[in-house]
Structure 1
Amino acid sequence: MNKGKDSLKWVLLDLIERCNNLRTFKQIHAQLLTSTLVANDLVVPKAANFFGKHVTDIHYPCNFLKQFDWSLSSFPCNLIISGYGAGHLPWAAILIYRWVVSHGFVPDVYTVPAVLKSCAKFSGIAEVRQFHTLAVKTGLWCDIFVQNSLVHVYSICGDTVEAGKVFDVMLVRDVVSWTGLISGYVKAGLFNDAVALFLRMDVAPNVATSVSILGACGKLGYLNLGKGIHGLVSKYPHGKELVVNNTVMDMYMKCESVTDAKRLFDEIPEKDIVSWTSMISGLVQCECPQESIDLFCEMLGSGFEPDGVILTSVLSACASLGLLDYGRWMMEVASSEQGYTCSI
């Protein structure tokens, strides 16, 4: 590629990135066609992202796909489908899939997960079952990427029975497989099933696994198991991530282990609003109202603005201590944008 064409490519890529309407994109598209850059591997992902965010009429992206030889690569079709799956119009991904298949496109192991992701966005369980059947008939079912997608989407749609069936027949499972079903059980409120599956897990957990199973322990009040899992998770690099520490804190509070929660809270170098919320609301639930108010004051001094959960929790603490004046001040805090001072 000569320097002039290469420069034009980067200009057009930037224009697509900033484009937010179809009229402008059509002008960019014309430039792509005249410069023969339309099939560039960097252009197609940008176009797919634009379509998924801004184009409700699928006729244009379908016409866009006509420019490619699908027998040479499934890349453009899969990207456009994925773009809609990741955007605000997941149902459009299904329509585009049906259109390209009706025009000779042969789906592969990347197509099925893309359409399944779209189904998960609008809980399209009927469509999920159709694509499940398709995967079995075409042999795509044997791919772990497809199997993991089925476990995930069935779980998201609330059909943990079918998710479990897919999981059970998998010959090879990775952390995504285990996490998909564990998180599905937790989402469905099947906390004991999540714990039982985690105890069978024969691969290292990731962040999502850890957050899901620690949340289940908190819901069940399984303090000893939660401590054990915390110890296990802390051995992995992700065990120090804030989202994991926040979940562990919440688990300790739900199990009424205030001392453990406090110790972990003090050890966290950089807290976020979730950290403060878990501790303050947890202290109220554990009948430590004065401590929750003290921590609230500390939070304000650290520059954090309270959210609705924190305000509700501290108001409850004020009520239990009979601090009516402080409660009124709290209501002023809720509607004020000024700096805070706090003393009791």
Structure 2
Amino acid sequence: MIRHLLIVAVAATTLVVAMPTARAVKLFDQNDNVLAIDSGAASFSPLAESSGNVVDQTISPGPTGSTKYLNFGKEQTGFIVTPAFGASTVQSLQLRAANDAPARDPLTYELYGTNDAISSGNNSLGDQESWSLISSGATGLDTDPGRHALGAIEDIVNAASYASYKMIFPTLRDTADSNANSMQIADVQLFTDLAGAGSTVLASGDPTLAVTHDAVKSLSSYPDGENPTLALDGDVNNKYLNRGGEDSGLILSRADNKPTVIESLTFTTGGDAPGRDPLSWDLYGTNDPITSLDNSRGLDENWTLVDSGVSGLEEDPGRNMTVGAQPVDGIEAYGAYRLVFTSLRGSPGERLMQVGDILIEGRIVPEPSSFVLLGVGALAALTFSRRR
């Protein structure tokens, strides 16, 4: 009897395996669970106001405005610098206020040093090296010195020599002010002796990186009429826009909680501003319950990289235009996905990401036909056993 049961079960399984692969279907729409995210660190600067300006020791306006370093990550942002001066023992520092918006002035600092080679990336957490805290305290801008004015020189108790420095600004003058949408500073200078004496350490052209120490904050946000569900509604005349720019995207799961295998992505451009078009993507999957919040970094779950690819928008097809499907090498089924846009047409420097529509196709798992066949096999086996 057992032999006959095994034969029936194997036959049923063979039928399932031999079935043609189910035709890809649309997996997600505007009625499913969708979150806006920005998986990158909360650090972003306009090209004309990048971290290199913080060491140029000039306030002369360039062709695009006054030279300053501005970071939309606000508190806990800063910079890494490797001075051409070489290793130094810093014993005092001085900051210069930027050209406008006093509310953005940093009021406190943390200064770190390292002798490691710098491997952290721009707009990262700046944590790929071993850093030692040298000093922390007031920036000397406690009382507003005026725009473009130097703050008080702050002395540091330090006897250690370092080749690279990281300065973080934990607090700003007035974060409640509507103008405090960023942190900004015109210049920073480090000195090898107390009271600004000795040699100046920082100079124009020193390699710098914008960084943040806030691993939780996200730059993701969107206008009410351009929310992430609009990327899945099939209407090419609206769009999803995210102010996080590069590394923004979305988390999505089906309303019926069924796991899926994504096999292709088809993108439609937004209605304006070609620089906002996503050019490349990373797709991650998880079977964890989603605990990440809307407009978070979307990293609260354990994510597995499914595939990486391009959007098909490398050559601008025009506005509200759909390009060909991009294949996804999806094998495993997941209950939720995180789609991150890793580059934009206008990168670097483009702060906004937008997409008119994303058609996501693949398979819903388990396929109903498989269950039917397995059920038939089980029923046949049970019937056979009863007859015996």
TM-score normalised by length of structure 1: 0.26
**Is the strand fraction higher in 1 or 2?**
2
**Is the helix fraction higher in 1 or 2?**
1
Greater relative contact order (Cα < 8 A, sep 6+): 2
- Higher Rg: 2
TM-score normalised by length of structure 2: 0.24
